[in-house]
A and B are shown apart, each in its own frame.
Chain A
């Protein structure tokens, strides 16, 4: 495993729709300043944004950690929330348990987790129902998938 060049952790406030997405925007600025390839930044920020929105929509609080190495960018998102009772269903495009408020924000149409998976080279979900969810995503720096 290559050495970490950067590690930064951000706090995500659950149910705060006003601030939702601010962390992902900040990550975009950080990666741009580091001259990371634009296609790679795009994939990272989409993963970050969808994961951040999931925490805001479903959890009480959470953290998002950005890790940069010479080979890849890793995002680790942990939340204190209800977890996901049926992962297979949640990964299915179109399946959603979102409230009307979430849908009014333009989210909660059942594309969040599929979008995260699509934009990651490696993706993993760990959860405990009633306690929380963790999302791990890795995006290679030289990948344009």
Chain B
């Protein structure tokens, strides 16, 4: 599924990485626990989290995920967005809760990694 389709489906706002919306996403890793993301992500996943501090982007970079999606309308501060820009990681935000996001993406054929 293209990131642009995910953006439309989940009514996301793109905080950085507008030029990367053609990325193809197959797998998803979703958690507020960064160690859990590190334990399960393999590479190039969509990472869904409610944690918006600098460690979320640091974890995304270390785990090698392709995109970060913040749920529950949580807005990171500018420093976090700048850091994501520097690491070339697209960041999106949606008002939806994690449960609904995962349900909608599962219906579209995306799967979690384990």
Contacts and interface: CB of A to CB of B under 8 A. Distances in A.
Interface of A: 17-18, 20-21, 24-25, 28, 38, 42, 45-46, 49-50, 104-107, 109, 111-112, 114-115, 118
B77 to A, nearest CB: 12
A28 B106 CA distance: 32
A106 B56 contact: yes
Given A105-B53, A106-B56, A24 B34 contact: no
Contact of B62 (A17, A38, A49): A49
A56 B58 CA distance: 15
B55 A20 contact: yes
Chief secondary structure at chain A's binding surface: helix
B39 A118 contact: yes
Contacts of A49: 38, 58-59, 62
A115 B63 CA distance: 12
B35 A21 contact: no
B32 interface: yes
User: Taking each of B32, B33, B51, which has the highest tally of chain A beta carbons within 10 Å of its own beta carbon?
Assistant: B33
Given A109-B36, A112-B35, A118-B39, A46 B55 contact: no
B64 interface: yes
Contacts of A105: 34, 53, 55
A106 B63 contact: no
A22 B49 CA distance: 21
Given A46-B38, A50-B35, A107-B35, 5 more contacts: A20-B55, A21-B55, A28-B62, A49-B58, A106-B55
Nearest to A109: B33
Contact of A21 (B36, B39, B58, B64): B58
A111 B39 contact: yes
Contacts of B63: 42, 46
Nearest to A114: B39
B24 interface: no
B21 interface: no
A18 B54 contact: yes
A28 B61 CA distance: 9
B26 interface: no
A109 B55 contact: no
A38 B49 CA distance: 24
Contact of B38 (A17, A18, A25, A115): A115
Given A18-B54, A42-B43, A109 B35 contact: yes
